[in-house]
Amino acid sequence: MKAIVTVMLKNGVLDPQGRAIGHALSGLGYPGIGEVRVGKRIEIELAETDPAAALAQAEEMARKLLANLVIESFKVELA
Amino acid sequence: MRAAIVVFPGTNRERDMAIALRLATGHAPLMVWHKETTLNGIDLVVLPGGFSHGDYLRCGAMAAQSPIMAAVRAHAERGGHVMGVCNGFQMLTEAQLLPGALLRNAGLRFLSQDCHLRIERNDTDYTRHYAAGQIIRAPMAHGDGNYFADDATLDRLEGEGLVAFRYTDTTGAVTQEANLNGSQRSIAGIFSPNLRVLGLMPHPEDLVDPLMGGIDGLPLFQSLASA
């Protein structure tokens, strides 16, 4: 079973990388570029076969290591 | 003051730190590999600068999970001194030994230059040899030094006098221009509530000898040596 953890900076936390990408997209001539936010996608192969347990395990991993909850939020899905 | 410096894969400022500690205390600090699990007989633990574990995931995130960190945490909980500089400050926030986080510099650039710091208080084991309000020069070298915490945490840090250093101009004024990395409230370093754990982004260990271009950082180590 594969867990997909998406980590994003929380709203209100400055994302200078996203802002720079937004500037670059505007520079390429795309009109109407609003806020751009950059995150991380982490895919984890799990031996666990029970979906609920796999989700719980991936959520624990996200809390312990994958996301820093001071500045980031995360979402866990199964693939 | 018996000091230990923890070395992680990717640490690169441990020798500068050792020079500064040796100069001030008269003893060579113990170098401790991050896979060790004990810190017996140590008064001060230093987490030095560098790029531990290649800054993968987030700066300091992997190091915060290293085997030695349980001993560092226990040392801090016993009231021991722990100082994290640059990457070490990032580790302390990742390990939640200090609040907040260090974000990418607001201007996105890696900053390798001198900055000026205001000593916010001198009644601590780290700053006794400075004057309160003194302005010192310190080198900085980081890509992720933009201190962030929520407003309640920032208010608490300020209210309890736990801001150790702020970025200022040469006259001591807190300005946007002097706040090179965009830190909240120009915070360059913070203390734990018991004033024993210190995290800061700039490198006082790199200005401890006239041959380095100045000795602005030396009083910090002299303060520790006499603590």
Is residue B152 less than 8 Å (CB to CB) from chain A? Answer: no
pLDDT for res B146: 97
In Å, how far is B108's CA from the nearest CA of chain A?
Answer: 6
Task: State whether residue A14 is helix, strand or coil.
Answer: coil
Mean pLDDT of chain B: 97
pLDDT for res A14: 87
Indicate the pLDDT class of residue B105, thresholds 50, 70 and 90. very high
Q: Quick check: is B59 catalytic?
A: no
- A71 interaction partners in chain B (CB closer than 8 Å): 101, 103, 148
Nearest CA in chain B to A17: B108
- Here the ipTM equals 0.89
Tokens 């650039």 found at: B109
pLDDT at residue B54 above 90? yes
Find the catalytic residue in B59, B86, B115, B129. Answer: B86
**What's the pLDDT tens digit per position in A13-62?**
989 899 999 999 999 999 999 999 999 999 999 999 999 999 999 999 99
Nearest CA in chain B to A16: B106
pLDDT for res B190: 98
Two tokens, residue B139: 């080198």
pLDDT at residue B173 above 90? yes
Indicate the pLDDT class of residue B139, thresholds 50, 70 and 90. very high
pLDDT for res A12: 87
Contact between B57 and B74 under an 8 Å Cβ cutoff? The reply is no
Please judge whether B57 and A66 are an interchain contact, meaning their C-beta atoms are less than 8 angstroms apart.
yes
pTM for the whole thing?
Answer: 0.95
Q: Is B194 exposed, middle or buried (0-12, 13-18, 19+ CB in 10 A)?
A: exposed
Please judge whether A20 and B106 are an interchain contact, meaning their C-beta atoms are less than 8 angstroms apart.
no
Helix or strand run (H / E) with residue B143:
none
pLDDT for res A10: 95
Is residue A52 less than 8 Å (CB to CB) from chain B? Answer: no
pLDDT at residue B160 above 90? yes
Q: Quick check: is B116 catalytic?
A: no
Average pLDDT value for residue range B197-218: 97
Please judge whether A70 and B146 are an interchain contact, meaning their C-beta atoms are less than 8 angstroms apart.
no
CA dist B83 and B224 (Å) reads 10
Nearest-CA neighbor of A22 among A12, A32, A9, A10? A32
- Reduce the secondary structure of chain B to three states and give it as a string: CCEEEEECCCECCHHHHHHHHHHHHCCCCEEEECCCCCCCCCCEEEECCECHHHHCCCCCCCHHHCCHHHHHHHHHHCCCEEEEECHHHHHHHHCCCCCCEEECCCCCCCEEEEEEEEECCCCCCCCCCCCCCCEEEEEEEECCCEEECCHHHHHHHHHCCCEEEEEECCCCCCCCCCCCCCCHHHEEEEECCCCCEEEECCCHHHCCEHHHCECCCHHHHHHHHCC
Q: Quick check: is B205 catalytic?
A: yes
Nearest-CA neighbor of B108 among A11, A15, A24, A71? A15
CA dist B38 and B131 (Å) reads 36
Two tokens, residue B72: 């560092």
pLDDT above 70 as % of chain B: 100
Please judge whether A17 and B58 are an interchain contact, meaning their C-beta atoms are less than 8 angstroms apart.
no
Q: Which residues is B141 bridged to in the sheet? A: B112
> Looking at residue A62, what DSSP letter applies?
I
Please judge whether A14 and B182 are an interchain contact, meaning their C-beta atoms are less than 8 angstroms apart.
yes
